Each structure stands twice: as structure tokens, then as C-alpha cells.
Structure 1
Amino acid sequence: MQKIKTALLSYGMSGKVFHAPFLNFHPGFELIGSWERSKKLIHQDYPSVKSYATMEELLEDDVDLVVVNTPVNTHYEYAKKVLLAGKHALVEKAFTTTVAQAQELAALAKEKGLKLAVFQNRRWDSDFKTVQKIISDNVLGEIVEAEFHFDRYNPILSPKQHKETANSGAGILKDLGPHLIDQALCLFGLPQSVFADIRITREHSLVDDYIDILLYYSNFRVRLKAGFFVREAIPSFVVHGKKGSFLKARGDVQEDDLKLGKKPNLDTWGKEAKSKEGILHTEINNDVLIENIPTLQGNYYDFFDGVYNSITQDAIEPVTALDGVHVMQIIEAAIQSSAQKKVIDL
């Protein structure tokens, strides 16, 4: 099996929790090392890999794929350097800070004949996969509206300065927003227009921490919300159709398990508790039914498998640069809408 030699641009939470475990587990990847500026931590988990002192040292090494998992406002600069060095790139969300940057990276990757994927791992969450199947099975009839939430209760500012210092990549719109937006676009495609309310709600916060985005489609609407003052969460996925409704709590266990140091597998990984099952209330063949729907298994391994196939078999990336461009288009429209207090046509 061909090995894709892969390096990380940082070994903080993202590298340690979301990337390294799957790169180490998947037989098609070889984790070469990580750029580490001050704290040298990767050797504690992977003693045989390299700790690069500089990005230049990493890019000069025999590396095929580079994971750009640094703060959002560095994604464009670093991803461009990776592509210019002739390496494939996997870029964390948010893909960039502007549409123009996203489009430039997409064009550069195409020009160089390189693969460029965006790490929208939440498409492989158990809860979202279940919602996706309900919609594809058409058991709700014609969709009228959907509402997706990524809610938390956390009024305390993050200790990570890049998240709380006002910069082009900070704020909930470019942190949790890309998850919600990508999931909506994955299900429904690009909307016709966007309306948004973007606010600061935490004391002393310098960055946005509340978003309410309304996507206008021809016959239905999709609302996306995220904030830090939701102590009692409502269902994170609510979909209403002309025949019925589906409600599902956010229940994917992968992030929590990875933070506990659990190692991914292909059998039991990503299975939600039965108590998190969604509720389907609909009409099928003139019979009204209300039932719990078993949750599909989630597994971020499938995303990395898609990246592997894109490089070794020239398949389409599991989340393409164009997908990243589309998310940035919604983000830019949301910023404009909130500032002008009006609907923005795409």
C-alpha cells in the first residue's frame, strides 16, 4: 500500500486530537512529524517522528501532504507556501479569511496539479450522517425549513489568545460557523441569499460569539445558530417537511473520546448512546408514526480515507477547495448582512 508521508504545521489540540490519531491509524499515511515553535510535545505521543524547528525545514523534507492546522488568519499564507513547495495540502476550517484567498488557493492547487482539501470533519459526525440519511430517504416530504445549532454554555474567554484577539480569523463565525455552514451546503447546496445577525455577548469579548444566519432557498429556509449562553440546549438538528419532522440532539462522541486519548478503530468507533436517538414524526403510506431513529456510526477515518484516495487514485477530495470557497462566500455575505442589516444576494 502506498504511503503518504504527512506532516503537521502544529501539534496543539487540533494536531494531537483530530489529525495525528487518524494519520497514525490509517495504513496509507506515515506521520513524519510536526512544526513545533516552542513546546516540543509530539515526541511524547510519537517518539519516532520529527519535530521541525521551522516551516522551511518541514517543506524541504520528503513530505507529500501537509496539514495546515494553525490559526485561521495564517491558513492562506501557509497553505500557499505548501502548494508552492509542491506538496498536497489539507487545510483546517475556516479555509481562509476571505473568498478571494480561497479562490486563489483553489486555482493554485489546480495549476500545480496538487490536491487541496478542507478539514470539514463534521460531515462524518454520527448525528449529521443520520440527519443526512433522513433527508435523502425523503421521509419528511418536501422540506419547508431546517434549523441547525452548535450551542455551548461557556461565558469565560478562551485562554488561546488567537481566538480572543481581534483578527481576521477570530470569532465564532469562523470557528463554529464553518461547521454549520458546510453541513447546510452539503445537504442543500448554495442558497440564493443570506441574512445574518452577528453579535458579541460575553463580557470583555473582542470577537463575535453569537451568530444567527438565515439561508434563503427558493422553497425553504435554513437557520444556523451558535452561541455561548445556551445552558439548556434544544435539539441541534431540526428539520420540518410537508409530511413530518425530525429532531436530533448533537451526540457525536468522537471529539470527547479523542480528547480522552482513545484510539480510533473501524468497529465500535463513533457510536452514539441510544439515549441520543433522534425523533421522527411523519406520515408514510397514510400512516402517521412517531419513532426513535437509530443513529448511524460516525468516523473521521472516512474523511482521511477520502484524502488518501484523492492523492493515490486522483479521486475528488472528500471536501474540495470549491466547497471551502462556498463556505467563505456565505461567511462574507453574513458579515455584510449583519453590518448593513439587510438580505444579501449571492
Structure 2
Amino acid sequence: MMNRVATFFAQTADSDIWYSFKRSPGAVIAAVVTLVMVLAALFAPLIAPHNPFDLASLSIMDANTPPSWEDGGSRDFLLGTDDQGRDILSAVLYGSRVSLFVGFASVIFSVVLGVTLGLISGYAGGRVDSFIMRIADVQLSFPAILVALLIDGVARGLLPRDLHNELALYVLVFAIGISGWVQYARTVRGATLVERNKEYVQAARLIGIGPITILRRHILPNVMGPVLVIATIHLAVAVITEATLSFLGVGVPSTTPSLGTLIRIGNSYLFSGMWWISIFPGIALVVLVLAVNLLGDWLRDALNPKLR
């Protein structure tokens, strides 16, 4: 096992992608920023100065405290507090965990669904291909945020009211994931249409290998390059979609706030002079999305053979 890991890292260090990464300062900075934010979110319970969701530790006397560098600020609350006395820095760290979880989970769901349907559509052809692609065409006629809103609303209507808060996070992942599978399916379908007529696939058919094995072992590895690029960019879109839904009040419940929920809460106090409640979560969201988008742009160029 250790030999395989060592071989993998040795091959990565000698690869064209790693060379391109080292030669791109923007990609390096974006990767560092993304890694720092992901690690900070993962280890929020360890590095956050306060637990913003522990009601026993909150004090209404600390409510609406400005950042530490302004008049009336406190060193205990570097970025200030909200209307309930929760530390904004700690809330951003904990809220990033929810946003990143929803983003990664919905992207994984979209990739699995979209790649599976794209492989089936491109390899089977005929009526199966037409049926899947017509569904994709219908969904493309609606904005992704509208599809997510529709699915979220239908799911909330079907589920018992007492389970809304418990299942809200998973409903949100499902809604965002369903709204993003089409781009994967169309991309993989196009690549599969090309790959299925190549000699190695024809040879696999002649020796009696089944369609599922051909798709899994032969075609799938050759169509994953574009999928990785789309998934990287889609992660930023998923985080933005989650923030938008939470800002509209149909995302995660207020008891497990994400960055979008924190921005929505702070928006009510923005014109009262308490700008820090929404500005700092907004900055964290913008920095995260920008870093992920820059990584996606670099990966798209790095995997494009015409730009090598």
C-alpha cells in the first residue's frame, strides 16, 4: 500500500499537470486559500474562539458588539457579535462547514447521477438516449435555482412537518444535486459516443466483455477529465446556490446556519449600522467561491491538450 502511495506521488510530481500548477501563481494561491478555508471549516470546533451555538455560553449583554478595532469593540470578539451575542468569527467558521458539506455532497450526487446517465445514454443510443436527453433538455429550460426551489418545496410538502428541520440539510443536497446533473450527463454522453466506436471498445466486445464492465473499466476512465473540471466549477455554483436558498429562507434551518443564513440574519441589521453581521460572512463566501473558480479555470486549461 505504501509503495502504491509513493508511486502515485512520484508520478504526480513528474506529471504535466503538476508542472502547470507550479507555473501558475494564481492556481497556487487559489489552492492555498481553498485548503485553508476547508481545513478551518473542518476543525472549527478546535480553532473557533467560541461555540456560537451553545446557548449556555451566550450572553445577551454581548449582543451587537462591533469588531475589536472599532469603538466599543472587545478583544474577545475579533469580528464582533450578532444580535444574540454570537461571535461572528466562530459563526463564519461553523457556517462554512455547512456550506462546504452541502456543496461537496450535492456535487458528488450530481456527478454520480449525471455520469451514470451520460454513460448509459451514449453507449445505448436509440430510444434510451433520446429519452434521457429530452429530460435533460426540459430541465435546461429552467434556471438551476428555480429547479432547486421547486424540488425543495415539493419535498417539504411531502415530508411530515416535524421532520423538516432534521431532514432540511439532506433535502437541500438532493435539490441542488438534481439541478446540476445535466451538464455532466451531456458532457459524458458526447465523450461516450466517441469512445464507444474506438478499437479498444470493439475488441472488448469481441472477447465477450459485458456492457457494464466496458463502461466501468474502459470508457469511464477516458471521460473523467472534463468531469473533474465541471465538478470543480460546479462546487462554487453549489455553494452559491445553497447560500441563495438559505438567504431566501428555504435552505438549512436557522439552528444550523450556513454562510447564506448568516448573511440573511445580518441583512436585517445592515442599515442600522451593524454592518459586520452580514459583511464578514459575505466576504468569506466570496473568497471561497472565487478561489474554487480560479482552481476550476486552471484545471480546465491544464487538461486541455490544445493549450499544452
Name the TM-score, length of structure 1 as normaliser. 0.22
Higher helix share: 2
Report which structure shows greater RCO (CA 8 Å, sep ≥6).
Answer: 2
Tell which structure's C-alpha radius of gyration is larger.
2
